[in-house]
Structure 1
Amino acid sequence: MPRVVSVFLPAWPTDRLFRQRGAAAPPVETPLILSSRTGRRRVVFAANEAAQAAGLRIGMAVTKAQALVSGLVIRDAELAADAEGLEKLAVWALQRYSPIVAADPPDGLILDATGATHLRGGEAAMLADLVGRLSAAGFNARAAMADSWGAAHAIARHITRPAVVVPEGQSSGVLLRLPIAALRLPPGMVAHLRRLGFERIGDLADKPRAPLALRFGPELHRRLDQAMGPLREPIEPVRPQELLEVRRLFAEPIGAAETLARYTEKLVVALCEMLEAKGLGARRLDLLFHRVDSQMQAIRVGTATPVRNVKRLTRLLCDKIETIDPGFGVEIMSLCAALAEPFETKQVRTSLLSEEPEPDISGLIDILANRVGEARLYRFAPVASDVPERSVRRVAPTAPRTGQDWPERWPRPARLLPVPEQIETVALLPDHPPVSFSWRGIRRRVKRADGPERVFGEWWKRAAELATVRDYFRVEDEAGERFWIYRAGDGEDAATGSHRWFLHGIFG
């Protein structure tokens, strides 16, 4: 089932102006409007939050707005600049989120995210990242993911949550509760429908179509079908001039998986020649299949490092050919490097006297990342902290080494629990390990132990850690299993901790 994302930018003209002007822009709390002409009248085309809070509305006469708000800042609307900025934003989303992205004028974007969400950690993670980055850039944004363009467009504009993910197959149920204006109908038609008593989409969905079509024409039910899903809308993706892209047109439509794979390899060969001529390597590839029914299917793959190896890129793309539904046939195939970076050549070992290079595992990383998602593939890197749970962080698999390492004074367990689990113990003296402990309902007798290793709290992070200590012990039970346990506190002073025992790790 297709998954479509609609991004709504409710204050796009004013947000773009503030971002463009930078330090020269008026303060955010200053009421600001953008004006345009309707005939001979100057009306409010857009207003920032401060102006709206002061009672100004879109379509109001500028003279009335000036009379209502003192100190009002007025700027001319720049429709061409707004459209150009929206196209640039679509190119940014194309490079980061989806192979099929288009501007949705005047205040949004539309993305076909089918088959691309796993690279961003899933649907919810993708939407949260998209909205978060737009907000950080100064744009007020909301986004919705649903089964169709019409459904996502309606939900993004009529449900005020920043990010809404509608599960597959449930878009129609959400739409029925929304107002009829969410169907992208002309304002005059919406007003006419309301006079007839239609307020929500659910009021229209179960009514006979013939009388309504006779009165309002085909537009009403076309928009209804586009939102509900029976009638799909093709998305024409944005294509910047600098995008490296190769295309293949077919005299007769093709559809067999073997044929699609064969032409995929030919496209990869042609694209790699273009990349080599420019000294670039691909970091993100989009393979688009234009079907004879005007629908589009896409495959997106990413690489950990810039790549232009034909065999490697072909394998990544062909691994996903089975996800493509050719329908009645594919008439055009196109392959583009949505993201390309300078290609670095690696030195080849020329003799036994030269230093042996590190093994290249980027190919394995690419295969795994495109199967399980980039967010689920990582490695651990050390952090300068004595507190065990703070001494490690996740980094990208190919991230460079920081030069730091974990201390070797005391061994660390192969498995560290996300949260230390409390255990019941029998201990002889404060400085001695327990003779037995119970963890998850199993009592274990300690046969060997080593410690204590005292770890102090990081007082510069929180005042509560000024006197906090932990005493860690490595213990081995009678079955030979080894555990990493600690006592919260020094065993004497109550200010140093609760003196309870916890299990924090397991040695492999």
Structure 2
Amino acid sequence: MFDGLRKRVVCMWFPRLACDRVLKARPVEAPFALTLTDKNAERIYCLNAQAETLGLHRGMSFADARAFCPNLLSQPARPDLDARFLGALRRWATRYCPWVGREGEDGLVLDVTGSTHLWGGEAAMLDDMRARAERSGLTLRLGLGDTRGAAWALAHYGQTTGVLDALPVAALRLEAEVVTGLQRLGLRSIGDLKATARAPLARRFGPGVLLRLDQALGDVPEAISPGAEPPHYGVRLSFPDPIGLLPDVMSATERLLAPLCDKLKAQGAGARTLVLTLRRVDQGSQQVELRLASAMRDAGRILPLFERGLGDIDAGYGIDVMRLEATVVEALPVQQIGLSAQVQPDQLNDLITRIGTRIGLENVQRFLPADSHIPERSFIVAPAAFSAAESGWHSHRPRPLRLFPPEAISAEGARPPERFRWRRMSLTTGRATGPERIAPEWWLEDDSWRSGLRDYWKVETREGRRLWLFYTPQNPGWFVQGEFI
């Protein structure tokens, strides 16, 4: 009588996942660590094998690590990118079985029941996993058991397969405080825990210890939840007869946009980049890429933005297949509509998109405020499509609309000169307001501010020019740096 297959579970643990991700792109032959700020202290988040051999460990203060290893290379950790990398590894692991889930922040769990024979047995499958991970530069430890808990224990405590009794109680995925309490009672291994009366353990440590033990032994089932695949934003349209006229292509694009935008709306998302692929009857294909200045899912607004790109398409003998895909997607939650419609931001974003299709979205830029009292550092220039307009332009003193590098003028004394020449013009001071003393930011190395203090004056000339001058008292000299419009 057939009683089912024996359940088999593999745990894939990547102990240096974060470092391996970074070093795959930029390898180094030196001790390397990633750091993360925790409770106002910078600590080691992950480190490579060379750093571990020098006695460094996770959670160690970065200052102490640099004292032990002066040549330690480091950079800030990015847990968000590590999670994305683990998601890519999860999709790769589906080559071994369809049921793959995440195990913490640095591991995967695979239900390989019934699929090991496809690889020539369990040993051959594990060898293939190790070989592929090694070729990719990933540190991988494997565990194979009848339960999820057993596979985790074997992967984290040095055995690929085997019995659990000899493993420490920490292999049951218990909290550190619970492990310490069990060890103080002399219960150091899973075998010791199995031989102990259950009722006193439950009264002292709660039901969690016995639950983890039963899960590892298979007395209590533990589900493996595979990660959900991200939604695919792509639609396709085939034609019984080829098309080639621009109105027909635009009409077909409109038919593609409607279901795509409906799917984006259902997922609470908006498209930032759309790619329209047009396949001709001669098997050639052309693409039209549309990069949007903001996340959008309104088919009526998106359709006119395709017109310029589609006008350059060579239809040849006709187009028989069109495919539209949103390749870059952002969250776009539903917003409460007020009493007055706010149409101006949408119109501005559409304008930025239209200009960006001609010169590139990165070349449409805007000024943003920066946290600095130094005039040259009080703003940044950023692409308008990838930054939001801010209303933080506040200053206790007026600032010129036009700012340029300091231009020296000939003058003496600490007060603005009565007459001076600037850009081949003879100017006469009519009114001067100031001074406003600005000190350099000592924590930054800026050659233009090494001379020290600056005393700024707003000078209104009789000729109509309204200039921003400054005087350097430590090295006497006058300069013009801006003009009020």
TM-score, normalization by structure 1: 0.47
Greater Cα radius of gyration, structure 1 or 2? 2
